Structure 1
Amino acid sequence: MSSSCAAGFEHVPEQRTPVDLQIHGVIPPWLSGVLYRTGPGTTRIPTTADPSKVVEIQHWFDGLALHHRFEIFPGGERVSYRSHNGSDDLERQIAEAGRYPTLSFGQRRDPCQAIFRNFSSAFQAMRAMGVSSPSPSGINVSVTLTPDMPGLDAETLGLSTPSGARYIVAKSDANTLQIIDPETLEPLIATTYEQLDPRLDGPLSAAHSCTDQETGDFYNYSCKFGARWPTYKIFRIGGKDGKVDVLAEIKDAPPSYIHSFAMTKRFVVLCVWQAHMKRFGMSLLHYTNIAESIEQRWDPKLYTLFYVIDRKDGGLVGKYRTPPFFCFHIINAFDDPATDDIIIDMPVYKDNLVINLLYYDKLKNLNDENYMPMGSARRFRLPSPSLLTTRTATRDAIVEFTLAQSQIELPVVAPSVYSKPYRYVYGITRIHPDEHRTVTDGIIKLDMSSPSPWSTRKFWSKPNHTPSEPVFIPRPNGKDEDDGVLLSIVLDDQATRSSMVIIDAKEMKEVARAEMEVVFPIGFHGVWDGRKV
């Protein structure tokens, strides 16, 4: 029996011409702007030589990019939608080759293929712009989006809009970036962090960068493999001048799949959890996909490591350890004003087996034996780095609490409390954890100021509906942290159509929805640009 949400994992065509959506309820009159989202769209590609033969994309993270744009017009009486494929040229390459021709997250390969050459060419060709660079749609970048990422010159790119973002940058867990047009979503340029600064080499980076809400400074890391230990370079791109600074190099951490990291007002924290790559990262040269290169054997004695880097002056200022766990996303982090400690919250898993459960054949056929686990919110406390007698010593991190009964993923907090003390986090959940035929059946609101798993949570749900990541939009001049709305693209499993649902974040009640005529593919992340007028 197929999953109740299986339609959300099927191939979806693009919609380049904007279409108006049918509005139900009342959209708050103050809510106007653009919700951008990205994720997989193309999952089946007929081959050029024989169209009856199809290349099936196997892992959810490898579905070819489909970028989306929902525009809410002033007054809330009109919502338009459009989408644009992000990987047309890569799709043509796959059709001609009859296989996925480059580094992927989980596409399984014939070991007899010349995979070392394919892996090398995927990144060697990205080293310089011009003829040798891949075309803008010759790559697959479909995890996160950043409007007007610093370090890129909008005038040089020829981008200028009267309001709103000048360009959108799509990012993934590879050191690749795709610049797309904020209006049409057309891919414009394919580039890398290394092209912004040659020091930012290495094939891996974090899909989830961190951005200072006040200065616009942008933070991420690059990871380069070596003969033994890799080199993680934590870097900053200035929000005002676009200058690149390498804040620290970490050379004693194992190579790991790190999807996100944490940031407070004073520190960047790189958490190296147990998703370690075999052969010190060289396994990527053999498997050419991240999932199969990760060590499958879980070691309960192998610590998770926290590396703390000074945001202002750079340099490693502390190192911590804790019993092992796996994680995709950071909820939030902040400096404790009372103790000077660092607080980090994240949804954790007991091991990394979830990576191998994200193949399409599993997602489309969820059941009691094949079901999708979800993280539990856990709070870590890192004792103040100022109390360290030496920066090379490794101290124990403290686990303050774990909300084991409150499953959460794709977490989001209000922009006003990002990297600051906060209360509320929102994310997808399974309200009925024993019903395994869907990936998620609701949106949860947790109050992280209390470790109680029961009295501090609220839900939004609707029978036979599958929500996506919520995006928080604050009400202008709102006084409370939760004064605003959540936007989530929700699949009606029975009607096989989707809607952009608007939920009051304080009460967790639906206030309006903009209904589509088609299925929106279940994807990953989005970003709100409220400057559009």
Structure 2
Amino acid sequence: MASPTKQELLYNNYFVPEKDLKYVPPYFRDVAETPQEVKCTTAGIWPEWLDGTFVRMGAGRYTIPLSEDGSKPNAVLQHFFDGLAMLHKFRMDHGSVYYTSKHTAEGVVRRAQKKGFVETSFFGVNPNTPLKEAQDPCSSLLGTQGHVGPDDVNVNVTPRRGMHLPSDKNPYSTGKAAANPETEEVLVHTDFNMLQVCDAKTLEPKRMLNYSNIDPELAGYGICAHPPKDRVRGLTFNYVISYEGTMYCFCMDIRANPAKLVWKTALPCAPCYIHSLAMTDKYVVFIRNPLHMDISDMTKQVMNMIEYEPESPTQFFVMEKITGRLVGSYKGNGFMFFHSVNGYDYVDPVTKKTNIHIDLCSYEGSYVPYREYNLSNIVDPARPFQDGTLVRYELAGIEDASVHEPGRVTVVGAIPGVAAELPRIAKDASMKHGYRYVYFTAGNGGSSPGTSVPIGRLGNGLKVVQAAFFGSLAKSDWLTGTFKRWSPQDGESCPCEPVFVGRPGATEEDDGVVLTIVVNKEGTHSILVALDGKTFEEVARADMPQVYALAPHGSFIEGPFGM
């Protein structure tokens, strides 16, 4: 067995056997599904106006049987991003909360039982055995060729409303295309060219497709899991890397039946990895991380195929939203990011020129944060987890911008003193100049007083026992530059991404509730918690029948959905 590399030692990147999963908190282990809807026991006062469905997507399985008769040991998925997908649904109706969940990548399990190994791409260490080279990830990264079943690929990042898709010629698909996909289907996104359609009522997977099924021009790899959505115009924006290696940004009309490509614009930069784009009312902004995909050695873990470029700036490419015309470029100081927060364009009262502000969670330097999310580094942290900072970047004078002579990105604001990741804002605040509030997770690896849930085996100040992967939440205010923190109490831990839901008819931006999920002190089940959007204090909770396996993202869908 080869000696660990310097990079692997830096992030404690090694194989964790199944017997050591007892050191991993329960939200990074296998959890059961709840396929039949159950009514949750509640406390506090759930707002009567909170009428809709909270959908969350993430991991639900980390061990996979490699035989049908139990004769082989299980494979153990080794990275947070590799956990097999699980879809959760909370239906809220007149102060009551109902819960359903479903594993949605069971085809990966069935195939592994037949073949004797897990056949997919792995962001982290190969799960089959620490001695076996990684499977070739090309098929997943480049988009599946041919037909696959509706649960045969692990699509596990972002759930959204469905949209009208082209007719389905895949013989493995199940069920009929929905007449009204916005209320009858969930469309799940991930960080490669694949989409999964699930039934909004049962959560059952129905169809697997890639963007080339919508338009042949969208064949290729890449794709970010967070296509920004213009709700007024019915458009979303994403990127694709062609098989020839050209980076494109594209616009899709999601109100059309079926959805259709509106424009596709080539970008003058090398391919890279990004997780989200940004947009304003008039512009789409593609932000190129200084990270490229090295596909010269396909036995590498995906996280080690994505290489940092220490000499590269972070590039901003600005396109007109309606035409796709590339109108300018800017360069920053080599920071990295996962999630953009918001963006807006406005006329500068001094220069009379149009400026763009882009808010995002920024990581400085060459320390690549997603390499920390191996189970080995959670069990045995090499160092404190790196945290992002909420930063506002300005692109000045769009009218004078040049594509070939990039302008300079300026930092015009930040929220100091608090870590920031998984940011969410009010839907009505999207693209609005002068918006104020951002809700986010406020630090990885934070303390969790009183919890009985273990995370980490050693305790010496850096390797902390009895701590949560996510420590707390925060609400920040761009107007005052301040923030307020919320931490779970009574031994509860690990609040997930906070999702703000505005009260119907509200006139103030933070008039609503913030939804998050925590695990109880003993780690035996999880709790959906509602915080007041203004005071950032708990107002209600609902007990889930199971542990919620940590999932990065969710969406609240107002009104009837999946009925």
TM-score, normalised to structure 2, is 0.84
Of 98-107 and 329-338, more deviation after overlay is shown by 98-107
CA distance in 2, matches of 1:175, 1:432: 32
Give the match for residue 418 of structure 1: 430
RMSD between superposed Cα atoms in Å: 2.7
Are the equivalent residues in 2 in contact too, given 1:458–1:508 (CA < 8 A)? yes
Give the match for residue 395 of structure 2: 382
Give the match for residue 501 of structure 2: 473
Letter in 2 for 1:135: G
CA distance in 1, matches of 2:437, 2:81: 28
Tell me: CA distance 1:10–1:125, structure 2 relative to 1, closer, same or farther (3 Å): closer
Letter in 2 for 1:305: Q
Alpha-carbon distance, 1:113 to partner: 5.7
Give the match for residue 3 of structure 2: none
Alpha-carbon distance, 1:107 to partner: 4.2
Give the match for residue 346 of structure 1: 360
CA distance in 1, matches of 2:226, 2:73: 36
Of 328, 347, 372, the match for 1:357? 372
Alpha-carbon distance, 1:19 to partner: 1.4
Tell me: CA distance 1:485–1:434, structure 2 relative to 1, closer, same or farther (3 Å): closer
Give the 3-state SS of the residue equivalent to 1:61 in structure 2: helix
Per-residue Cα deviation, 1:19-60 (whole angstroms, up to 9, x for no partner): 111101110111121100010001001211644501000111
Percent of aligned positions that are identical: 28
Are the equivalent residues in 1 in contact too, given 2:291–2:307 (CA < 8 A)? yes
Give the match for residue 441 of structure 1: 471
Letter in 2 for 1:10: R
Query: Within 5 A, what are the aligned runs for 1:233-272?
Result: 233-241=249-257, 242-250=259-267, 252-272=268-288
Tell me: CA distance 1:147–1:431, structure 2 relative to 1, closer, same or farther (3 Å): closer
Are the equivalent residues in 2 in contact too, given 1:5–1:438 (CA < 8 A)? no
Give the match for residue 69 of structure 1: 89
Residue 26 in structure 1 maps to residue 45 in structure 2: yes
CA distance in 1, matches of 2:227, 2:107: 26
Letter in 2 for 1:6: P
Residue 462 in structure 1 maps to residue 488 in structure 2: yes
Residue 397 in structure 1 maps to residue 413 in structure 2: no
Give the 3-state SS of the residue equivalent to 2:428 in structure 1: helix
Of 168, 172, 179, the match for 2:190? 172
CA distance in 2, matches of 1:385, 1:70: 43
Letter in 2 for 1:479: T
Give the 3-state SS of the residue equivalent to 1:255 in structure 2: coil
Tell me: CA distance 1:5–1:515, structure 2 relative to 1, closer, same or farther (3 Å): farther
Give the match for residue 144 of structure 1: 158
Give the match for residue 310 of structure 1: 320
Tell me: CA distance 1:137–1:343, structure 2 relative to 1, closer, same or farther (3 Å): same
Of 507-516 and 105-114, more deviation after overlay is shown by 105-114
Letter in 2 for 1:517: P
Alpha-carbon distance, 1:275 to partner: 2.2
Alpha-carbon distance, 1:360 to partner: 1.7
Give the match for residue 501 of structure 1: 529
Letter in 2 for 1:407: A
CA distance in 1, matches of 2:391, 2:143: 41
Tell me: CA distance 1:236–1:392, structure 2 relative to 1, closer, same or farther (3 Å): farther
Letter in 2 for 1:55: A
Alpha-carbon distance, 1:139 to partner: 0.6
Letter in 2 for 1:137: D
Give the match for residue 204 of structure 1: 222
CA distance in 2, matches of 1:318, 1:424: 29
Tell me: CA distance 1:172–1:107, structure 2 relative to 1, closer, same or farther (3 Å): farther
Letter in 2 for 1:277: M
Give the 3-state SS of the residue equivalent to 2:488 in structure 1: coil
Tell me: CA distance 1:119–1:434, structure 2 relative to 1, closer, same or farther (3 Å): closer
Tell me: CA distance 1:82–1:288, structure 2 relative to 1, closer, same or farther (3 Å): farther
Are the equivalent residues in 2 in contact too, given 1:103–1:288 (CA < 8 A)? no
CA distance in 1, matches of 2:528, 2:166: 31
Tell me: CA distance 1:2–1:91, structure 2 relative to 1, closer, same or farther (3 Å): closer
Letter in 1 for 2:484: K
Letter in 2 for 1:147: R
Alpha-carbon distance, 1:66 to partner: 0.5
Task: Give the number of equivalent residue pairs.
Answer: 507
Tell me: CA distance 1:238–1:177, structure 2 relative to 1, closer, same or farther (3 Å): closer
Give the match for residue 334 of structure 1: 344
Of 29, 32, 35, the match for 2:54? 35
Per-residue Cα deviation, 1:172-200 (whole angstroms, up to 9, x for no partner): 00000000000000000000011100111
Mark the runs of 5 or more structure 2 residues left unpaired by the alignment.
1-19, 169-174, 449-463
Are the equivalent residues in 2 in contact too, given 1:345–1:378 (CA < 8 A)? yes
Letter in 2 for 1:458: K
CA distance in 1, matches of 2:339, 2:346: 21
CA distance in 1, matches of 2:322, 2:266: 15
